[in-house]
């Protein structure tokens, strides 16, 4: 293994695709061909079993095209223990397929509790074995240190919330303190951590979450945080497009990995894919939507420079 930052860099350059497919299974949105007679079930074990099949088949459709997947822990936690077992199986399957796994669990707590989260999620004996974890900064520096130390010791990565994609994020993140919005203060702290954890590619193992729904702030933060990878959610279903995320890349086409969850994994239920494919061909819609997003980013951002 190598520094997470270098692994991410190499995977993005290899695929020429700064794209992460979000694994956010929602029971009611699963393809009918998978649901079969189970549509009305309330049994979490049955639901979790279907999430496993669904996520594996999504991974099969995309793994040759993208560097990473991002399982959203919430949808698995919602199903209790059965969902958590399936989350671990999905992570394992994705890794077997050569994908980097960003576990989206947005964890944090006071330092001593954060240490338990960090060890459990990124430590050497972690039952999850993800390559990277999303974390929240609002408990301050002593809450982040255990994650950074554990991640570095295990060649894992972190993405810390800086400017989130949701409209309500501005309530706290845009508050001006000492002449700067709070997200700039958080961004400066994360950039410091990125510099301390820099790999050969020049970026750090500690990255930032910056939403595609705030293109001006994305460009501003790219300049302010030159060593920091950005995880950019909000493309697709939340309204962000390729032009909105363009500011997240540097002149070499590096710097961001753009997430798309519903827009890819449930592509079969939207046009043009719904008309193009039979219900049982839902995986082809997932693959097409992935390729369409990659082409969109290559055309409208500097990531086009990564093409061979």
Ligand X SMILES: O=C(O)c1cc(=O)[nH]c(=O)n1[C@@H]1O[C@H](COP(=O)(O)O)[C@@H](O)[C@H]1O
261 touches ligand X by CB under 6 A: yes
73 touches ligand X by CB under 6 A: no
228 touches ligand X by CB under 6 A: no
Closest distance to ligand X from the beta carbon of 125 (Å): 25
The tally of CA atoms less than 13 A away on the side-chain side of residue 206 is 29
Footprint (CB under 6 A) of ligand X, residues 130-149: 134
259 touches ligand X by CB under 6 A: yes
Whether cis (ω within 30° of 0) applies to the bond prior to 272 is yes
219 touches ligand X by CB under 6 A: no
Which residue stretch of 50-58, 92-100, 254-262, 280-288 sits at the interface with ligand X (rule: CB under 6 A)? 254-262
262 touches ligand X by CB under 6 A: yes
Binding mask 13-52 for ligand X (x = CB under 6 A): ---------x-x----------------------------
Closest distance to ligand X from the beta carbon of 232 (Å): 9
209 touches ligand X by CB under 6 A: yes
| Given 83, 204, 233, 253, the residue binding ligand X (CB under 6 A) | 233
Cβ nearer to ligand X, comparing 169 with 202:
169
Cβ nearer to ligand X, comparing 45 with 170:
170
In three-state form (DSSP H/G/I as H, E/B as E, the rest C), the secondary structure along the chain is CCCHHHHHHHHHHHHCCCEEEEECCCHHHCCHHHHHHHCCCCCHHHHHHHHHHHHHHHHHHHCCCCCEEEEEHHHHHCCCHHHHHHHHHHHHHHHHCCCEEEEEEEECCCHHHHHHHHHHHHCCCCCCCCCEEEECCCCCHHHHHHHHHHHHHCCCEEEEEEECCCHHHHHHHCCEECCEEHHHHHHHHHHHHHHHCECCCCCECEEEEECCCCHHHHHHHHHHCCCCCEEECCECCCCECHHHHHHHCCCCCCCEEEEECHHHHCHHHCCCHHHHCCHHHHHHHHHHHHHHHHHHHHHHCHHHHHCC
Question: Catalytic annotation on 106?
Answer: yes
The residue annotated as part of the active site, out of 45, 97, 106, 170, is 106
Closest distance to ligand X from the beta carbon of 308 (Å): 28
The first and second tokens of residue 120, run together, are 């459990």
Closest distance to ligand X from the beta carbon of 259 (Å): 5
Closest distance to ligand X from the beta carbon of 214 (Å): 9
Site of interaction with ligand X (CB under 6 A): 22, 24, 72, 104, 134, 164-166, 209, 211, 233-234, 236-238, 259-263
- What residues are annotated to the active site? 106
């Amino acid at each position: 293994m190598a520094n997470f930052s270098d692994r991410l860099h190499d995977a993005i350059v290899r695929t020429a695709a700064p794209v992460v497919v979000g694994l956010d299974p929602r029971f009611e949105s699963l393809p009918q061909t998978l649901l079969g007679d189970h549509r009305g079930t309330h049994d979490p074990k049955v639901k979790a079993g279907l999430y496993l099949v669904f996520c594996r088949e999504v991974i099969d459709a995309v793994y040759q095209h993208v560097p990473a997947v991002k399982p959203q822990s919430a949808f698995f936690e919602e199903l209790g223990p059965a969902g958590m077992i399936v989350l671990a199986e999905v992570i394992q399957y994705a890794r077997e397929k050569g994908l980097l796994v960003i576990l989206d669990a947005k964890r944090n707590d006071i330092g001593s509790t954060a240490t338990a989260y960090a060890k459990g999620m990124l430590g050497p004996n972690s039952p999850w074995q993800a390559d990277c974890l999303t974390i929240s900064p609002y408990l301050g520096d002593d809450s982040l240190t255990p994650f950074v130390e554990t991640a570095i010791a295990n060649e894992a990565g972190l993405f810390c919330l800086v400017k989130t994609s949701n409209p309500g994020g501005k309530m706290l993140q845009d508050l001006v303190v000492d002449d700067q919005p709070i997200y700039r203060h958080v961004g400066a702290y994360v950039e410091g951590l990125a510099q301390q954890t820099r790999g050969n590619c020049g970026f750090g193992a500690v990255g930032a979450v910056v939403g595609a729904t705030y293109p001006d702030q994305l460009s501003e933060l790219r300049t302010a945080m030159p060593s920091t990878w950005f995880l950019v959610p909000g493309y697709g279903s939340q309204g962000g497009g390729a032009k909105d995320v363009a500011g997240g890349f540097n002149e070499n086409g590096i710097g961001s990995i753009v997430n798309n969850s519903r827009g890819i994994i449930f592509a079969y239920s939207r046009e043009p894919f719904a008309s193009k494919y039979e219900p049982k061909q839902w995986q082809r819609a997932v693959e097409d939507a992935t390729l369409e997003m990659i082409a969109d980013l290559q055309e409208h951002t500097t990531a086009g420079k990564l093409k061979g």
